[in-house]
Amino acid sequence: MDQTAQRLQEAQREFSAHGTYVNTATHGLTPHPATRALQEHIHEVATGRFSAGAQDPGIERARAAYARLTGLTPDRVAIGTHTSQFTGTVAASLPAGSEVLVAENEFSSTVHPFSVRSELRVREVPLDRLPDEVRPDTALVAVSAVQSADGALAPLDDLVVACADHGARTLVDTTQSTGWLPSDDDRFDYVVCSAYKWLLGTRGSAFLSGTTEALSELRPLAANWYSAVDQWDSLYGAAIEHGTEANRLDMAPVWPAFVSLEHSLALIERVGMPAIHEHDVALADRFRAEAGLEGKGSAIVSLPAPEGAAERLAEAGIAAAVRDGRLRVAFHLYNTDTDVDRLLEVLADPR
């Protein structure tokens, strides 16, 4: 067994799913080290031993780990709780009348912050047409790197070129990709990512990153004590000095989420996203092939949902999801060929 396979096998022992779990696109499983850290945190809170200031080093370790995973430096990463907060910050920075180009059927958190601003022009086009639809008056293109509904991969390489040619900004939501799909986020103006799916965190942890120039154009939408230069001396009063880097956009952290997240990110780093990508896509493409679907190179698979299929899966102890009227399954580092076999077996049962 080579070292990559050994690291993956060791990582798989850090999970305890009940039944067959192919639903990471909804929520990732929490690895044992993260679970233990979360349990210890809850015990500290319950027994009065919790120290707020003692959480800061762990949060910075999580910020640094996320930066390493995405090809950035920590000074270009802001922390928050949900991607819609950060997408809303970008939306608020756009001048009235700006055109925002988005993909049809895009996940709501990626588009609603723009569509609720009536003074912005939001234009929807098919995903594969995004690069061709960028115009000279397009201010921003907002898209998920991997589509939530069906796992389709956005044409990011062509989109980056098209936006550069027309002077448009890019906002890429990597919630459904970071953790299994390697990417150089340095080429995007803005990136938002919730960590509770493929990064194996808990809900309440998210990141915003981007180029230094693009981030400098944003005003904190929810300025708070945690985005100050000296957080613990900035709890009171109006005269607070905020940071000059991405941390000036920080949201006050949900402590339990970040207490566990640093351990989840450490596991992702230990295995490596290239290895996880190869593993996840191999399982997904094998499932596609045996289910009579074309291979797409995505860890997320969408297929027609025959009547009663979702109920049969649940009864068989298989966790999946129905999205946009179709069955959605997602394969991550803790899945194996046994999970694919079980899924195919239950779906083939006509009962």
Q: Which residues have a Cβ under 8 Å from the Cβ of 182 and sit 6 or more positions away? A: 273, 274, 277
Residues 120 and 223 in one domain: yes
Residue 35 lies in a domain: no
What pLDDT sits at residue 1?
66
Residue 44 lies in a domain: no
- Choose one of 218, 245, 269: the last residue of a domain: 269
What pLDDT sits at residue 238?
79
- Choose one of 246, 269, 292: the last residue of a domain: 269
Q: For position 200, which CATH number holds?
A: 3.40.640.10
Residues 216 and 328 in one domain: no
Residues 244 and 96 in one domain: yes
Question: What is the amino acid identity at position 309?
Answer: A
Residues 291 and 173 in one domain: no
What pLDDT sits at residue 239?
67
Residues 205 and 299 in one domain: no
Q: List alpha helices for 96-232, DSSP H.
A: 108-115, 130-133, 156-166, 212-216
User: Alpha-carbon distance 128 to 130, whole Å?
Assistant: 6
Residues 100 and 149 in one domain: yes
Q: Which residues have a Cβ under 8 Å from the Cβ of 169 and sit 6 or more positions away? A: 139, 140, 141, 163, 189, 190, 214
- Choose one of 235, 253, 269: the last residue of a domain: 269
Residues 208 and 318 in one domain: no
User: Alpha-carbon distance 307 to 171, whole Å?
Assistant: 37
Q: Which residues have a Cβ under 8 Å from the Cβ of 37 and sit 6 or more positions away? A: 259, 260, 262, 263
Show the domain range for 196.
53-269
Residues 208 and 297 in one domain: no
User: Alpha-carbon distance 125 to 102, whole Å?
Assistant: 6
User: Alpha-carbon distance 122 to 117, whole Å?
Assistant: 9
Each residue's pLDDT, cut to its tens digit, for the chain (351 residues) gives: 688 889 999 999 999 988 999 999 999 999 999 999 999 999 999 999 999 999 999 999 999 999 999 999 999 999 999 999 999 999 999 999 999 999 999 999 999 999 999 999 999 999 999 999 999 999 999 999 999 999 999 999 999 999 999 999 999 999 999 999 998 999 999 999 999 999 999 999 999 999 999 999 999 888 888 888 888 888 888 767 777 789 999 999 999 999 999 999 999 999 999 999 999 999 999 999 999 998 789 999 999 987 778 888 999 999 999 998 899 999 999 999 999 999 999 988 766
- Residue of 259, 201, 180 whose CA lies nearest to 83: 201
Q: For position 330, which CATH number holds?
A: 3.90.1150.10
Residue 107 lies in a domain: yes
Number of structural domains the chain divides into: 2
Residues 185 and 261 in one domain: yes
Residue 92 lies in a domain: yes
Residues 250 and 316 in one domain: no
